[in-house]
Amino acid sequence: MNATPEVLIEKDGPVGIATLSRPKALNALSQPLIKELLAALEAFDADPAVRVMLVTGSERAFAAGADINEMKDLPDSKAAEDAMAEHLARWDRIAQLKKPVIAAVSGFALGGGCELAMACDMIVASETAQFGQPETLIGVIPGAGGTQRLTKAVGQALAMDLCLTGRRLNAREALAAGLVSRVFAPEVFLAEAKKLAHEVAKMAPLAAQAAKRAVRKALDVDTPAGLRAERQDFYLLFDSKDQKEGMKAFVEKRPPKFAGD
């Protein structure tokens, strides 16, 4: 762990917030920073009081990529793999969290920054956001899922364009391309992102987690397998108290009280 935290952790009721805070390097995602972020998110994932997580950065940068200084002197592929295998495993664990994770992106989300946002379940953006995968400009390619997740989010034409030219998408372009789901004016961006997180936190927690799992499944498996997984989770939710409460509250015309079981 760093002497000075580079990830600020806060709980806002049922919303666990992790704010990347390495301003001098535009939140470049060094190995210690990712380690700290993963620890924070896994603690939120295990905390029964937390239902949704929000990952955000500063106004100027969500994150400007993995830390180039950590990679620049790696002599060859073997050294790169040795140095980064554990790091990559941590990135994978971020994508495997059970609870919904929202990325709230202001400013630069480049390279690993864009990949981190895409490892989350939903991306909302400030009008200042800029998304890109400029790794080919520095002699590599996206290494934390960018080629796959970006292509699935925006399609081959645009993903290829971004990866081969390093050009950036602004927030409106990212919205039109399907990379982000909402764009907010800078003055209200964080408040709106938190509002959204609180809205998601009102859902039946087990159902929200199952919805996350099922939607993500669509990216990984063919449709029949995805439908099987969806159906299985649909039926399983009838074992939960929250399904009983949700449907009872509906017919009684009152708001549900979900306990998460």
Active site residues: 66, 112, 115, 135
Contact flag: residue 6 with ligand DAK (CB under 6 A): no
Stretch that binds ligand DAK, among 44-52, 64-72, 98-106, 171-179 (CB under 6 A): 64-72
CB of 133 to ligand DAK, least distance (A): 8
Window 131 to 190, contacts with ligand DAK (CB under 6 A): 134-135, 138, 143-144
Instruction: Give yes or no for residue 57 binding ligand DAK (CB under 6 A).
Output: no
Which three-class secondary structure string do you get for 53-89? EEEECCCCEEECCECHHHHCCCCCHHHHHHHHHHHHH
Minimum distance from CB of 87 to ligand DAK (Å)? 4
Single out the residue of 91, 131, 189, 258 in contact with ligand DAK (rule: CB under 6 A): 91
Give the Å distances, CA to CA, from 11 to 44, 49, 202, 259: 9, 9, 15, 18
In angstroms, give the least distance from the CB of 23 to ligand DAK: 9
110 binds ligand DAK (CB under 6 A): yes
Tell which one of 9, 68, 95, 227 touches ligand DAK (CB under 6 A). 68
DSSP the chain: --SS-SEEEEEETTEEEEEE--GGGTT-B-HHHHHHHHHHHHHHHH-TT--EEEEE--SSEEE--B-HHHHTT--SHHHHHHHHHHHHHHHHHHHT-SS-EEEEE-SEEETHHHHHHHHSSEEEEETT-EEE-GGGGGT----SSHHHHHHHHH-HHHHHHHHHH---EEHHHHHHHTS-SEEE-TTTHHHHHHHHHHHHHTS-HHHHHHHHHHHHHHHHS-HHHHHHHHHHHHHHGGGSHHHHHHHHHHHTTS-------
The identity of residue 93, as a single letter, is R
Q: Which positions from 13 to 52 touch ligand DAK by CB under 6 A, shown as an x/- string?
A: ------------xx-x------------------------
Does 69 bind ligand DAK (CB under 6 A)? Our answer is yes
Which of 111, 175, 206, 230 is the binder for ligand DAK (CB under 6 A)?
111
Q: Does 112 bind ligand DAK (CB under 6 A)?
A: yes
If binding is defined by CB under 6 A, does position 84 make contact with ligand DAK? Answer: yes
C-beta of 27 vs 209, nearer to ligand DAK: 27
Span from 66-74, 155-163, 206-214, 247-255 in contact with ligand DAK (CB under 6 A): 66-74
Footprint of ligand DAK (CB under 6 A): 25-26, 28, 64-69, 84, 87-88, 91, 108, 110-112, 134-135, 138, 143-144
